[in-house]
Structure 1
Amino acid sequence: MSRHERAVERLGGLITERPGTIVLAFLAVTLLFAGGLGGTGTEAGTGQFTEDVPAQQALEDVQDRFGPRGESADTASTQLIQRGENVLTREGLLRMLALQESVLDREELRATEATSAATTVARTIDPEAETLAQQRATLREASDREVREAVRENADSPAFTGQLSEDFNAESATASATIGTVTHELPGGVSGTTGNDANSPMTPIQQEIETMAERSDGQFQVFGSGIVSGEFQTIIEDSLLIVVPAAVVLLLFFLIVAYRDPIDLAVGLLALSMTVVWTFGFMGLAGIPFSQMLISVPVLLLAVGIDFGIHIINRYREERSAAASVGAAMERTTDQLLVAFVLVIGTTVVGFGANYTSSLQPIRDFGLVSALGIAFTFLIFGIFMPALKVLTDRWREDSPIPEFSSEPLGEEDSALGRVLPVGVAIARRAPIAFLLVTLVAAGAMGAYGSEVDTSFSDEDFLPPEEQPGYIEYLPAELQPAEPQVTGTMNYLEETFPQGQEGTVIVSIDGQLREDYALESIHRAGEDPPETVIRDGRYADSQSIITVIEQYAAQNPEFAALVERNDRNGNGVPDQNLETIYDELYASPYEDQARQYITEDYRAAQVQYAVEGDAAQEAVGEDARELADRHRLDATATGETLVFEAVSDVIFDSAVRSLALALVATGLFLIAGYWVVARRPSLGVVNLFPIAVSIAALAGTMRYAGIPFNALTATILSVSIGLGVDYTVHVVHRFVDELDDGVDTLTALDRTVRGTGGALTGSMLTTVTGMGVLVLAITPILGQFGLLLSISILYAYLASIIVLPSALVVWARVA
């Protein structure tokens, strides 16, 4: 007897001889982990993905270096969207100013500045009206004709029209909507991360402004990063509220069908509950926050746990049907299944844990938590559940409780037992031809699926504008709040196309005192790339040149200084630049200058306006082209480039984790089958059907238009971890049957009827349990749940149909 066989036999003996001790020990550990459940915080949104990305660090460096007087304050903004028949009437403009003034008057809202079409119109009528109160007084005293003329006077200004809806009519001075902006100053560092998350300091501020807007007499809607972040938090709660009850109901139904015994059902449910408690208790003790990525983890654990539970109960019933006692049947069950469980758990941990190689922290957390959760699942279902089953069956033998169904799934005379051997029938007639056809088909699907898109944006994590139809049929307690953010974002894009431009930043490092420095900045914007918005021949941009032009327009002496140092007459000084910078820093435009050039004149930034609806990749390429045009060292950055960088990391993570999972799983299986059966080549055979199912899954993703995103990027490696579960059980049972002295086809027939029945029950419960994720109101979770269900179905079909032919060919060769 080999060493591993002796270890398994000793463990099986311990389970049957001291089941009570084992059960009590596991319950005590459960209480320990339960203490960590309250320590799990939450984290959601896109901000959690950008923290460690180099592009984000470059952006933070720009934000740190350029600011008024080097203060360590960050800024954020709130958009006040006003709708009406005509928001440019005197009354409509006064409503906007009244709300903005109310916000600025509240010190706790940290508002520092307000701009809107109303402020522009008021200052056009009276240039001396600098405060909101003065502007309101100006508009109250102005006639309707003066207001219309002021609107027409600004009709050619992009800054003004960008705040108005697309239906703006300059002649009649009408528009159905306008946007006012309030700027807030926050403590340094709290808003520096690109993207949105569920813990934004702007959330309570903007929620309070929402309340103020509802009390005003105008038709206002409030929008900003705090509103988006608040919805991210709500999404987690609403998704769990929908998914968990649905999963419980469906899993309970299928477990009843699979177990057909209330006591066995209770044992299985207790084991599943303990798995979740152990995993999330560990998260609380380790300080790992609960995020949208981790909503799928309990579903994954339930899937593997159900599979293990059904295999334990089904195999135990097979042994009991042969008239074995409780102890003997369970020892035989654990002798056969614990080895298979070790192979399954090792490959599953490898598949899930491969995501820990990602450079994105949320994906690493997913890899760590899911891998540890799977290890916990093995301990609970491999040791605790058999011990509890022994206790309950011995207690049942000594009690008058009636006997319930104890027949294993897949018996030969059952309907399922007649369908399952279809793969064996193919393997009996033409295994080599079938494998060649399968190999060609898998290659074609894999090649097709290699072009799957990659996506990363706030919209991936937000619910759709309109709620799914099934929501109205849910009990009132489970119905989520009506989503607002996606609808508002769509409305802004459709109604204010001029005001929805994006921004990219080119950060410049070098000696900006050199005569060519400003000319280089100016020439870089000439004939800009396609996604960059034009202002004539040049890119629409803001830089230190913009500040020079603004000050020159206000100060004739400075204008003369600029003209004297502009040798080619294009309005951009090209000598004595240090003198010009010194003048700016000594002028009222000092704060504006600091936003674009550092005090030592060795770093600058240029902000370019880009098309808001342009693809991230296109914007990134054009921004890097602009950076390359600069004579000094220049780096492109900005939120769009950060999101593009995250998309690239997501794709790299998917490929790297897939490659690692395949290689590590293959090596583990080869080593495992060498140890347990002295047949290492079975490891390759074991992996072949999974490779086929992964190729099919990649092709399905592209065909269905499902991209790699923050969560679906994990699907390929996760599918390996879950899919190997099915092939390992088939191969290990096949080896056991061969060792009993039967021929290859007989061993296969027994395998697919016995283990195939348990696999069918496991597949149905797993596909259903994971499929409930499509009910989640977040697209990213729905796509992940759909892909998980499809991957499990493919792995099951490959194990039942493809694997028998592979085993027949293996038997002939090996």
Structure 2
Amino acid sequence: MSAADRIVGAVTDHSRLAIAVMLVLTVIVGAGAGAVEQESSLDQFQSDTPEADASEYIDANFASGPENVTRVQIIVRGENVLSKGSLVETLEYQQRLRNDPRLNATLFEDPTGGTPPTVGVANLLAQSALQQEIGGELQRTAAEFEQLNETVQVERQALRQNATELRRFSDDVNATSAALRGGLTELQEDPNASATAVFEETNAATPIDLDAGDAATFEQAAAQLRNASTEAERAQAYELGTRGVLEDELTRVQEWAQTLDQRRSDLQAQAQQLEELGAQLQSLRQELEGVRSASLDRQIEAIDSLEEDELKTLIQTVLGGDGGQASEQALRFMPAGEYYETGSTQADATMLLVTQQTEREVAPGGVASQELIDAQLAMQDLGSGSDLEFLVFGSGIITEEINQSMSDSITLVGPLALLFVVVALAVGYRDLLDIVLGVLGIAAVLVWTFGFMGWAGIDFNQIFIAVPVLLIGLSIDYAIHIFMRHREERFEMGNGALRQSMRVALGGVGIALALVTATTVIGFLSNLVSPVPPIREFGIVSSFGIVAAFLVFGVLTPALKVEIDEFLEARGIDRKKRAIGTGGGRLSQTLKIGSLGAKWSAPVVIVIALLISAGGVYGATQVDTSFSQEDFLAEEPSDWTQNLPEPFAPGEYNAKKNLEYVNERFQRQDAQASILIRGDVAADGTLSSIARAQRDVASRDVTQRLSNGQASIQTPLTVLNDTRERNATVAAIVSDADTDGDGIPDENLTAVYDALFETNPQNAGAVLARGDDGEYTAARLVVDLKGTASGVETTEQLRDVAADVEGDGLTAIATGQTILFEIIQDQLLDTVLESLLITLVSVFGFLMIVYRVTDGSATLGFVTLVPVALSVSWILGTMYLFGIPFNVLTGMITSLTVGLGVAYSIHISERYNQELERHDSAWAALDRSVTGTGGALLGSAATTVGGFGTLSIALLPSLQQFGIITGLTIIYAFLASVLVLPSLLVVWTRVIGPAEKLDVPPSADDGPGDTDTVGTAE
């Protein structure tokens, strides 16, 4: 007894033990299913390449703005988004964003104030309006300050001069008063002295010129003094002789002093006013510097206060290119190319940029956190109900739609695939118990598969949506073959041979199923040569699932069936059912078309198949390859799906449509590429090389241009030029280093770079890398790409630029998401070719060895594989005709075609070989093979095609294409096995033998309707 017979006997004779063992294994393996996580990041598709290493180097060594932030593009659409009402509405929308608790915690708050959380054209126009308003007030205040300051200085000088003159005059008055007092004392002491003489003598000696009236007053005072008898009378005489004489002068001093006091008071008031103007100037200067951080209320007020003509002038200035740095920044928010005319006051769309803080970096195509997803969904909600349309495009929205599309696709496709299989089985089995066993078997296979994924730590990603459908189709294929063969054997053996018929069925079909399992596993495992990690994981998981299907339907379901059937038959319930295609009629006649063709002219059938295949081969060379974010974004669901009840009704999907709109009209935030230059980038002449590369990049078709025609690129030279225009020190250093006067520093670049980093560290760090020792190790050119630029064009053009930079100790490489995706796309094509070659060679060698050992003819393995090779060319030609490219799913179609298709050929070849031994006529053997096994193949093909066909209603385009192509693959494999393989088997029999059986015609009782002698089917 062979090992296979012992295993089959164990299943049928010890069915309860087999059931127990399989259930325990199901529980153990299935326990890992809870650990399966979902992964939708496109980063998982990247492999180790020089370009990927360069991208990682850039992330680690160049400044890319604040850490752990992501930017959301919100497209604002309306009749005219530059009207006053639209601008104000856009600013009010930003207020709602900043105030909403669902997302304001995620908004990035730059401590330096350099990066506002929300910014767009409305903000820049408002800021420009504020700059004009504040700038005008600043000019007026500065002029008033200068004028008043000049007046104060003049008045202060005049006041000082007048005070000096007053002091001098006051001293003269005091000196004259003292002299007059002395003269009076002299007259008192000398009665004979002449008052007139003393006055004239005093007048001649003092600085004040006294007149005759003053002389008369003096003489009167002298007389009073000589006649005074009391001290009071003498004091009165002295008062008259001094102050009385100098009365006019003293009055002048008093008035003069009062005038000076008033002027001092006025000057103090002017000084106070001047101080207030100075403070106002300082405040205005600070307000002007803080315009970028002006509150949204202030910005709304600034826009709202403008007259229509003022607003139009402002727009023409800022968006016309005359607004300096504000203009360059504003134009980045406007549609590019033909969609906006520079300086126009009319536009139907503009862009708003929202910066969010994240816990970890979100790479382009990466997965956003749930907090980020919720925040960006809130952005969509806050835009509803407005006269303007706000299209939110960010990593959170992309992640949400990809995750939702995977969930919705599984919710839609899974039940529908199962329903289709149940209906197909109901038609084929016409037995509820067999249907239930089949469904339970499928469930067990899925539990095993997802449990294995959990234990192996393999995440569920977009392409794994195909795995359940794939396993459902293949599992039911196993069930149909075993159950149909069991039914055939029961009709032939009679009523009492339940376990015996199952033993014969498993023994007969088991070899074929083992071969099918092995070849299918080979086909799936050929994907291990792919450098794309998810494709390798898909091959591993699918291979395990196929093995699980073989075990479940080779052990568990047969054991369950014999136990249940035995239990029911013991109670008088008949469990015998006829196998598909074995009862005669139209189906049997249809299945015999291939056999009839072989009888008519096998070589002609083969030639026709080869000619069709030649056309397929030509088409195969024309099939495109695709890998892009769009491949993973759902299409808008068909209208009929909107009428489905929950939870089957799919959600709304706008990301793909919005992405196409952004690609066509705006600069994508993640559509950038870099040319990384490594080596001694501070060597003399390096900037000249960079300048040539900069001009080259600017002239390339893939480079994004603003609406004013300027190429959107950033290089060390662009940063240097921008910086030296604003900083005289940098300008002087650049001038000294520019030996030939072309505006590009030629030598002493280390000093140039040092000055650049000191003055503009953020922008300098974005294009220059330096080590801990201060040595400059790399530079890069950052290129904004057109959204419509293809990966092929981008990669070719930027690689050409990089190649021109290399030399003189410098290396250059082009990298970026678009280029990395193009590399993945190339790897997909390599996967197609390599996996096809490996699968064909491996399956060919495997079948030849197996058939040589089991049947003594290795050539039968070759014949069995030929129809599969033909179907590969047919499916590739169909992909060309339908315009379906190779992507992460359809890229596996060649190995799948071989792995799945060879099953149909194996069943026919194995059955033919068995029937050839049982009958004298090769034609009878052929008829019985295509009607018996062909019927089972038709049933399995119908269910498998139907299962895969349900993928055509999936929401992801790549899944739809995969479902269509895989369904056609099954059809082609079935047609090749029942139409072409019979002719190949006839030729093989004639060449290899036994050729004499071809000369024996089938007997009358060998017809397909003779159920007693129909033989076994697989």
TM-score over 0.5 for the pair? yes
**How many Å separate the matches in 2 of 1:685 and 1:294?**
33
- 1:33 matched residue in structure 2: 29
**How many Å separate the matches in 2 of 1:298 and 1:414?**
35
Q: Do 1:110 and 1:184's aligned partners in 2 also have CA atoms closer than 8 Å?
A: yes
The 3-state SS of whatever aligns with 1:636 is: strand
Q: Do 2:106 and 2:372's aligned partners in 1 also have CA atoms closer than 8 Å?
A: no
The 3-state SS of whatever aligns with 2:584 is: coil
**How many Å separate the matches in 1 of 2:334 and 2:739?**
40
Q: Do 2:82 and 2:347's aligned partners in 1 also have CA atoms closer than 8 Å?
A: yes
The 3-state SS of whatever aligns with 1:506 is: strand
Larger mean Cα displacement after TM superposition, 501-510 or 646-655: 501-510
Summarize the alignment of residues 656-735 of structure 1 with structure 2, pairs less than 5 Å apart. Answer: 656-735=834-913
- 2:813 matched residue in structure 1: 635
Summarize the alignment of residues 278-427 of structure 1 with structure 2, pairs less than 5 Å apart. Answer: 278-324=448-494, 325-401=497-573, 403=574, 406-411=577-582, 413-427=584-598
The 3-state SS of whatever aligns with 1:467 is: coil
Give the AA of the match of 2:914.
D
1:603 corresponds, among 778, 786, 811, to 778
Q: Do 2:791 and 2:818's aligned partners in 1 also have CA atoms closer than 8 Å?
A: yes
1:66 maps onto 2:244 in alignment:
no
Unaligned runs of 5+ in 1: none
User: Once the 2 structures are TM-superposed, how far is the Cα of residue 60 of structure 1 from its aligned partner?
Assistant: 2.1
Distance 1:708 1:596, change over 3 A: same
RMSD, aligned CA: 2.4
- 2:427 matched residue in structure 1: 257
Give the AA of the match of 1:110.
F
The 3-state SS of whatever aligns with 1:478 is: coil
- 1:19 matched residue in structure 2: 15
**How many Å separate the matches in 2 of 1:405 and 1:323?**
11
- 1:78 matched residue in structure 2: 72
Residue deviations 1:216-238 (CA, integer Å, cap 9, x gap): 88643322111111111101110
Structure 1 or 2, whichever has the larger Rg, is: 2
Larger mean Cα displacement after TM superposition, 246-255 or 736-745: 736-745
**How many Å separate the matches in 1 of 2:695 and 2:710?**
4
The 3-state SS of whatever aligns with 1:475 is: coil
The 3-state SS of whatever aligns with 2:354 is: strand
Give the AA of the match of 2:121.
A
- 2:691 matched residue in structure 1: 522
Q: Do 1:356 and 1:366's aligned partners in 2 also have CA atoms closer than 8 Å?
A: no
Unaligned runs of 5+ in 2: 132-287, 322-327, 993-1018
Give the AA of the match of 2:691.
H
Give the AA of the match of 1:369.
V
Aligned length: 802
- 1:483 matched residue in structure 2: 653
Distance 1:591 1:502, change over 3 A: same
Distance 1:32 1:316, change over 3 A: same
User: Once the 2 structures are TM-superposed, how far is the Cα of residue 381 of structure 1 from its aligned partner?
Assistant: 0.9
Distance 1:611 1:582, change over 3 A: same
**How many Å separate the matches in 1 of 2:331 and 2:720?**
25
The 3-state SS of whatever aligns with 2:853 is: helix
Larger mean Cα displacement after TM superposition, 426-435 or 127-136: 127-136
1:7 maps onto 2:3 in alignment:
yes
**How many Å separate the matches in 1 of 2:368 and 2:480?**
39
User: Once the 2 structures are TM-superposed, how far is the Cα of residue 729 of structure 1 from its aligned partner?
Assistant: 0.7
User: Once the 2 structures are TM-superposed, how far is the Cα of residue 613 of structure 1 from its aligned partner?
Assistant: 0.6
Q: Do 1:121 and 1:150's aligned partners in 2 also have CA atoms closer than 8 Å?
A: yes
User: Once the 2 structures are TM-superposed, how far is the Cα of residue 737 of structure 1 from its aligned partner?
Assistant: 1.0
**How many Å separate the matches in 2 of 1:258 and 1:126?**
78
Summarize the alignment of residues 532-543 of structure 1 with structure 2, pairs less than 5 Å apart. Answer: 532-533=703-704, 540-543=712-715
- 1:119 matched residue in structure 2: 123
Summarize the alignment of residues 454-603 of structure 1 with structure 2, pairs less than 5 Å apart. Answer: 454-464=625-635, 466-494=636-664, 496-497=665-666, 502-527=671-696, 528-533=699-704, 540-587=712-759, 589-599=760-770, 600-603=775-778
**How many Å separate the matches in 1 of 2:400 and 2:704?**
32
Q: Do 1:308 and 1:381's aligned partners in 2 also have CA atoms closer than 8 Å?
A: yes
Q: Do 1:163 and 1:499's aligned partners in 2 also have CA atoms closer than 8 Å?
A: no
Q: Do 1:518 and 1:574's aligned partners in 2 also have CA atoms closer than 8 Å?
A: yes
Distance 1:410 1:700, change over 3 A: same
1:270 maps onto 2:264 in alignment:
no
Give the AA of the match of 2:500.
A
State percent identity of aligned pairs: 34
2:46 corresponds, among 23, 47, 50, to 50
**How many Å separate the matches in 1 of 2:51 and 2:709?**
29
Give the AA of the match of 1:747.
A
The 3-state SS of whatever aligns with 1:130 is: helix
Distance 1:802 1:198, change over 3 A: farther
**How many Å separate the matches in 1 of 2:400 and 2:642?**
23
1:614 maps onto 2:789 in alignment:
yes
The 3-state SS of whatever aligns with 2:864 is: helix
**How many Å separate the matches in 2 of 1:421 and 1:7?**
35
**How many Å separate the matches in 1 of 2:463 and 2:74?**
32
1:761 corresponds, among 936, 939, 956, to 939
1:241 corresponds, among 384, 390, 411, to 411
Larger mean Cα displacement after TM superposition, 285-294 or 679-688: 285-294
1:163 maps onto 2:333 in alignment:
yes
The 3-state SS of whatever aligns with 1:77 is: strand
Distance 1:742 1:396, change over 3 A: farther
Q: TM-score, normalised by structure 1?
A: 0.94
**How many Å separate the matches in 2 of 1:533 and 1:272?**
52
User: Once the 2 structures are TM-superposed, how far is the Cα of residue 405 of structure 1 from its aligned partner?
Assistant: 6.2
User: Once the 2 structures are TM-superposed, how far is the Cα of residue 532 of structure 1 from its aligned partner?
Assistant: 3.1
Q: Do 1:525 and 1:539's aligned partners in 2 also have CA atoms closer than 8 Å?
A: no
Distance 1:237 1:27, change over 3 A: same
**How many Å separate the matches in 2 of 1:683 and 1:86?**
71
**How many Å separate the matches in 2 of 1:101 and 1:59?**
36
**How many Å separate the matches in 1 of 2:722 and 2:80?**
33
The 3-state SS of whatever aligns with 1:670 is: helix
**How many Å separate the matches in 1 of 2:47 and 2:88?**
42
Residue deviations 1:91-128 (CA, integer Å, cap 9, x gap): 43233334445656734333542331122212322332
**How many Å separate the matches in 2 of 1:372 and 1:789?**
21
1:751 corresponds, among 923, 926, 929, to 929
**How many Å separate the matches in 1 of 2:952 and 2:36?**
25
User: Once the 2 structures are TM-superposed, how far is the Cα of residue 503 of structure 1 from its aligned partner?
Assistant: 2.5
Give the AA of the match of 1:620.
T
The 3-state SS of whatever aligns with 1:482 is: coil
Q: Do 2:703 and 2:711's aligned partners in 1 also have CA atoms closer than 8 Å?
A: yes
**How many Å separate the matches in 1 of 2:715 and 2:481?**
67
Residue deviations 1:136-188 (CA, integer Å, cap 9, x gap): 45334444433221110023335423423566567762323221112234455
Larger mean Cα displacement after TM superposition, 50-59 or 662-671: 50-59
Give the AA of the match of 1:130.
R
Q: Do 1:759 and 1:796's aligned partners in 2 also have CA atoms closer than 8 Å?
A: yes
Q: TM-score, normalised by structure 2?
A: 0.75
Give the AA of the match of 2:349.
A
Give the AA of the match of 1:302.
I
The 3-state SS of whatever aligns with 2:73 is: strand
Give the AA of the match of 1:457.
S
The 3-state SS of whatever aligns with 1:477 is: coil
